[in-house]
């Protein structure tokens, strides 16, 4: 392969001693909002990318792997999907995936950073694919913490598409015992709470295990699942929480029927993929079984 020279690179740390370099073909935006640093760039391999505080949030080439994993196992488990709540999700892709189900009557999305939403509409319209204009979408620019405290609606599914709860992240206050209690209060009987839950890589899976230990205090079923997301250069984990349904045990026929009811074709998720992403390696199962810190 011929060597190509690039003058600019986006470098993301995989670990304190490891890094992933992305050549930048074009920078659409780079700056700081009230809450975080934001960049929208284009790279040769992954296409357009959204970067927040130096961390890749999604890429054009593989964002459907992440967003289909976050949304569809949870919605497939439900008998009713009339009201859905998304916490975060500024790009609009999580909203897009939820609204692919015709039986969703309304999807409320709450994101604190309106500038990220506006930048995504401008530079990443493929992510939303018209979801922001769907009459079933209710988009609220505001603090999800305040929304959870003040809102009185019930939701069949609550989907947390927030950034990782690192100390300098605007989502950090949303990962604590009190907030998890507020989320469960908003969940309808039989509902599912699903969240992106940090990495499942062997070298940095401790945060994911801490999140799982905390949520096991609140729900009968708390299931980890994960998949490799190439743009993240890591195995990315999720948690599905419910008192009514164990997502790891969903039958293939149920998933097939659910997928058949989606508008458009899936890229990643189906019944076979479901079995794979809920089949955890031994090292991760051992980490999840340990006693340890909670939020």
Tell me the DSSP string of 227-265.
Answer: EEEGGGTEEEEEEEEESS--GGG--HHHHHHHHHTSSS-
- Alpha-carbon span 175 to 295, nearest angstrom: 7
Same domain, 17 and 113: no
Query: ∠155-164-223 over CA atoms, to 5°?
Result: 55
Name the nearest CA neighbour of 74 among 93, 97, 91.
97
Q: Is the pLDDT of residue 62 over 50?
A: yes
Q: How far apart are CA 95 and CA 134, in angstroms?
A: 10
Predicted pLDDT of residue 176 = 82
Q: Is residue 33 within 8 Å of residue 112, measured between CB atoms? A: no
List % helix, strand, coil for the chain (3-state, nearest 5).
35, 30, 35
Mean pLDDT, to the nearest integer, of 49-78?
Answer: 97
- Residues 211-234: pLDDT tens digits? 999 999 999 999 999 999 999 999
The more confidently predicted of residues 143 and 295 is: 143
Would you say residue 2 lies in a domain? no
- Active site members: 161
Domains held by the chain: number: 2
Which band of pLDDT confidence, cut at 50, 70 and 90, is reported for residue 170? low
Is the pLDDT confidence value at 4 over 70? Answer: no
Are both 94 and 47 inside the same structural domain? no
Q: Are 147 and 245 within one domain? A: yes
Q: What is the pLDDT of residue 282?
A: 98
Q: Which pLDDT belongs to residue 119?
A: 98
Q: Are strands 26-32 and 47-52 parallel, antiparallel or unpaired?
A: unpaired
Distance of CA 236 to the CA centre of its chain: 10
Q: How would residue 166 be classed by pLDDT, with cut points 50, 70 and 90?
A: low
| Residue 34 belongs to domain with CATH number | 2.30.140.10
pLDDT of 10:
94
Do 135 and 269 reside in the same domain of the chain? yes
Helix (H, G, I), strand (E, B) or coil at 270: coil
Q: What is the DSSP string of 32-89?
A: E-SS-EEEEEEETTTEEEEEETTEEEEETTTHHHHHHHHHHHHHHT-S--SEEEEEE-
Question: 179 and 107 in contact (C-beta within 8 Å)?
Answer: no
Residue 154 has pLDDT above 70, yes or no: yes
Number of DSSP helices (H) and strands (E) in the chain, helices first: 10, 13
Window from 56-70, 143-157, 161-175, 253-267 with minimum mean pLDDT = 161-175
82/169 same-domain check: yes
Neighbours of 118 (CB within 10 A): 13
Judgement on whether residues 68 and 23 belong to the same structural domain of the protein: no
- Give the count of alpha carbons within 13 A of 3, CB side only: 1
Instruction: Provide mean pLDDT across the span 63-71.
Output: 98
Asked if the structure places residue 4 within a domain, the reply is: no
Average pLDDT over residues 193-213: 94
Position 1 pLDDT exceeds 50: no
197 and 225 within one domain? yes
The CATH number covering residue 98 comes to: 3.40.50.150
Q: Does residue 128 lie in a domain region? A: yes
| 28 lies in some domain | yes
Q: Are residues 90 and 197 in the same domain?
A: yes
In a domain, 162, yes or no: yes
**205 and 84 share a domain?**
yes
At 164, is the pLDDT very low, low, confident or very high (cuts 50, 70, 90)? confident
The residues with which 193 forms a beta bridge, in sequence order, are 158, 241
% of the chain with per-residue pLDDT over 90: 87
pLDDT per residue as tens digits for the range 96-143: 999 999 999 999 999 999 999 999 999 999 999 999 999 999 999 999
Task: Determine the pLDDT at residue 3.
Answer: 56
**Do 101 and 173 sit in the same domain of this protein?**
yes
Give the range of the structural domain holding residue 15, as residue numbers without chain letter.
9-59
Inside any domain, residue 253 = yes
Residue 3 domain flag: no
What is the C-alpha end-to-end distance of the chain, expressed in Å? 48
The contacts of residue 94 (CB under 8 Å, 6+ apart) are: 67, 70, 71, 86, 88, 109, 159, 161
Same domain, 42 and 157: no
263, pLDDT greater than 80: yes
Residue 53 and residue 78 in one domain: no
- Mean pLDDT value across the chain: 94
* Phi, psi angles (nearest 5°) of residue 249: -105, 15
pLDDT confidence tier of residue 178, bands split at 50, 70 and 90: confident
Which of 35, 59, 83 delimits the end of a domain? 59
Based on C-alpha coordinates, what's the Rg of the chain?
Answer: 18
Which residues, in sequence order, are bridge partners of residue 212?
none
């Amino acid at each position: 392969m011929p060597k190509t020279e690039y003058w600019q690179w986006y470098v993301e740390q995989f670990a304190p001693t490891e890094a992933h370099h992305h050549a930048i073909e074009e920078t659409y935006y780079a700056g700081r909002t009230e809450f975080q640093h934001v960049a929208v760039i284009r790279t040769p391999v992954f296409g357009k990318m959204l970067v927040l505080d130096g961390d890749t949030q999604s890429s054009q080439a593989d964002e459907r792997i992440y967003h289909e994993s976050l949304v569809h196992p949870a919605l497939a488990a439900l008998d009713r999907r009339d009201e859905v709540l998304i916490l975060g999700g500024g790009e609009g892709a999580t909203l897009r995936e939820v609204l692919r189900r015709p039986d969703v009557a309304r999807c409320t999305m709450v994101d604190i950073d309106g500038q990220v939403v506006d930048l995504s509409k401008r530079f990443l319209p493929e992510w939303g694919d018209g979801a922001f204009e769907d009459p079933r979408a209710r988009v609220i620019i505001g603090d999800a913490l305040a929304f959870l405290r003040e809102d009185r609606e019930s939701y069949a599914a609550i989907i947390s598409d927030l950034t990782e709860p690192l100390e300098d992240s605007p989502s950090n206050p949303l990962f604590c015992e009190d907030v998890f209690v507020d989320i469960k209060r908003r969940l309808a009987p039989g509902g599912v709470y699903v969240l992106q839950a940090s990495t499942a890589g062997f070298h940095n899976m401790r945060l994911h295990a801490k999140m799982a230990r905390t949520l096991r205090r609140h729900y009968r079923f708390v299931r980890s699942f994960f998949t490799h997301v190439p743009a993240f250069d890591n195995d990315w984990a999720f948690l599905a929480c419910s008192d009514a349904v164990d997502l790891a045990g969903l039958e293939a026929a149920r998933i097939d029927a659910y997928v058949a009811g989606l508008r458009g074709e899936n890229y990643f998720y189906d019944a076979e993929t479901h079995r794979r992403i809920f089949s955890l390696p031994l090292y991760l199962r051992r980490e999840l079984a340990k006693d340890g810190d909670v939020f």
